Amino acid sequence: MSVIDTISVFICSGCEIGTCLDCSGLEKIARENTDVTKVVVHDRLCHEEGLDLIREGILENPGSSVLIAACSPRIKTTEFSFGSEIQLERVNIREQVVYCQPAGEEDTQMMAEDYLRMGMAKLKFTQLPTAFIPEITCMDILVVGGGITGLTSALEGANAGYSVVLIEKEESLGGFLKNLNKTIPNKAPWVKEQKNDIDSTISEVIHHEGIRVITGSKIESIGGQPGDFTVSVSNNDQVVTFKVGSIVAATGWKPYNPNKLEKFGYGSSLDIISNHEAEEAMKNGVLLRRSDGMVPKSVLFVQCAGSRDPDHLPYCSSICCGTSLKQAKIIREQHPETSVFLIYKDIRMPGMLEQYYKEVQKDSRIFLTKGIVEKVVVSEKQLSVEVSESLIDEDISIPVDMVILATGMVPNDSKELNLAYRQGPGLPELKYEFSDSHFICFPYETRRTGIYAAGAMRAPMGISDSQTDARGAVMKAVQLIESVKKGGAVHPRSGDRSYPQLYMQRCTDCKRCTEECPFGMYDETEKGTPLPNPTRCRRCGICMGSCPERIISFEDFSIQSVSAMIKSIYVPDEFEEKPRILAFVCENDAYPAFDMAGMKRLQYSAFIRIIPVRCIGSINKIWISDALSQGFDGIMQIGCKPGDDYQCHFIQGSELTETRGENIQETLQTMMLEPERIRTEFVEINEFDRIPEIINDYIEEIELIGPNPFKEI
Query: Within positions 9 to 28, which residues make up the interface with another protein, using CB under 8 A?
Result: 14-16
Considering only residues 549-588, where is the footprint of another protein by CB under 8 A? Answer: 588
**From candidates 253, 444, 519, 604, binder to another protein by CB under 8 A:** 444
DSSP 3-state assignment of 483? Answer: helix
User: Does residue 101 contact residue 606 with C-beta atoms inside 8 Å?
Assistant: yes
Which stretches of 61-216 are DSSP H helices? 106-124, 148-159, 198-206
Closest CB 347 distance from another protein, rounded Å = 5
For another protein, the binding residue among 352, 395, 531, 666 (CB under 8 A) is: 352
710 binds another protein (CB under 8 A): no
Q: Who's near 216: CB < 8 A, 6+ residues apart?
A: 168, 169, 170, 171, 235
Compute the least distance from the CB of residue 518 to another protein, in Å: 16
- Window 31-50: residues binding another protein (CB under 8 A): 44, 46-47
Which residues between 497 and 556 bind another protein (CB under 8 A)?
A: none
Give the number of other Cβ atoms within 10 Å of residue 442's Cβ: 13
Peptide bond into 492 cis (omega under 30): yes
Which residues lie closer than 8 Å to 642 by C-beta, 6 or more apart?
Answer: 648, 654, 655, 658, 682
**Contacting another protein within 649-668 (CB under 8 A):** 649
281 contacts another protein (rule: CB under 8 A): no
Give yes or no for residue 362 binding another protein (CB under 8 A).
no
Sole binder of another protein in the list 10, 176, 301, 434 (CB under 8 A): 434
Enumerate residues 6+ apart whose C-beta is below 8 A from 672. 709
Among residues 80, 220, 194, 144, which one has the least CA distance to residue 458? 144
Shortest distance, position 644 Cβ to another protein, whole Å: 9
With CB under 8 A, what is the number of residues at the site for another protein? 88
Helices (H) and strands (E) counted in the chain, each on its own, are 17, 30
Of 365-394, binders to another protein (CB under 8 A) are 370, 389, 391
- Residue 386 beta carbon to another protein: minimum distance, rounded to whole angstroms: 18
| Identified binder of another protein from the candidate list 187, 207, 381, 527, rule CB under 8 A | 187
> Restricting to residues 623-652, which ones interact with another protein according to CB under 8 A?
640-641, 645, 647, 649
Site residues (CB under 8 A) for another protein, limited to 669-688: 684-688
Question: What residue spans of 125-269 are helical by DSSP H?
Answer: 148-159, 198-206
Sign of CA dihedral 414, 415, 418, 420: positive
Angle between the 590-599 and 691-705 helix axes, to the nearest 10 degrees? 100
By CB under 8 A, what part of segment 461-490 binds another protein? Answer: 461, 465, 468-472, 474-476, 478-479, 482-483, 490
- Interface with another protein (CB under 8 A), residue from 86, 599, 671, 705: 599
Report in angstroms how near the CB of residue 626 gets to another protein at its nearest. 29
Q: Which stretch binds another protein (CB under 8 A): 1-9, 33-41, 351-359, 542-550?
A: 351-359
Q: Is the Cβ of residue 295 or residue 602 nearer to another protein in the bound state?
A: 602
For residues 156-185, which are near another protein according to CB under 8 A? 156, 159-161
Using CB under 8 A as the binding rule, whether residue 4 contacts another protein is answered as: no
| Distance (Å, whole) CA 129 – CA 87 | 9
Backbone angles phi, psi at 384, to 5 degrees: -135, 125
